[in-house]
Amino acid sequence: MEEQGFFYRDTWAEVDLDYIKENVKAIKANLPEEVDFIAVVKANAYGHGDSQTAEAALEAGASMLAVAFMDEALALRKKGVTAPVLVLGASRPEDVNIAAEEGVILTVFQEEWLAKAREVLKGDASISLHIKIDTGMGRIGIRSAEELKSIEKSIREDSRLELHGVYTHFATADELDETYFKEQLSLFKELLGTLDELPPCVHSSNSAAALMHTDAQFNAVRVGIAMYGLTPSLEIEPELPVRLNEAFTLHSRLVHVKKLEKGQKVSYGATYEAAEDIWVGTLPIGYADGWIRRLQGQEVLINGKRSPIIGRICMDQCMVRLPEEVPVGTIATLIGEQGEEMISINEIAKRLETINYEVPCIISSRVPRIYKQQGKIVDLNNSLL
Ligand SMILES: Cc1ncc(COP(=O)(O)O)c(C=O)c1O
Q: What is the pLDDT of residue 46?
A: 98
pLDDT, average across residues 104-110? 98
Secondary structure (3-state) at 335: strand
Catalytic residue numbers, as ranges? 42, 268
For the stretch 264-312, pLDDT in tens is: 999 999 999 999 999 999 999 999 999 999 999 999 999 999 999 999 9
- Using the atom order of ligand 1, give the atom closest to the CA of residue 222: 4
Cα–Cα distance, 285 to 156 (Å, whole number): 54
- Using the atom order of ligand 1, give the atom closest to the CA of residue 174: 10
For the stretch 171-195, pLDDT in tens is: 999 999 999 999 999 999 999 999 9
User: Ligand 1 pocket check: which of 27, 36, 88, 106 to mutate, most ligand atoms within 8 Å of Cβ?
Assistant: 88
Whether 130 is in the pocket of ligand 1, judged by its Cβ within 6 Å, is: no
For the stretch 41-97, pLDDT in tens is: 999 999 999 999 999 999 999 999 999 999 999 999 999 999 999 999 999 999 999
Give residue 223 CA to ligand 1 midpoint distance, Å: 7
- Residue 384 clears pLDDT 60, i.e. is over it: no
In order of their start, the domains of the chain are: 31-229 (3.20.20.10), 248-378 (2.40.37.10)
Whether 225 is in the pocket of ligand 1, judged by its Cβ within 6 Å, is: yes
- Residue 5 clears pLDDT 70, i.e. is over it: no
Q: What is the pLDDT of residue 381?
A: 52
Cα–Cα distance, 217 to 28 (Å, whole number): 11
Cα–Cα distance, 265 to 101 (Å, whole number): 60
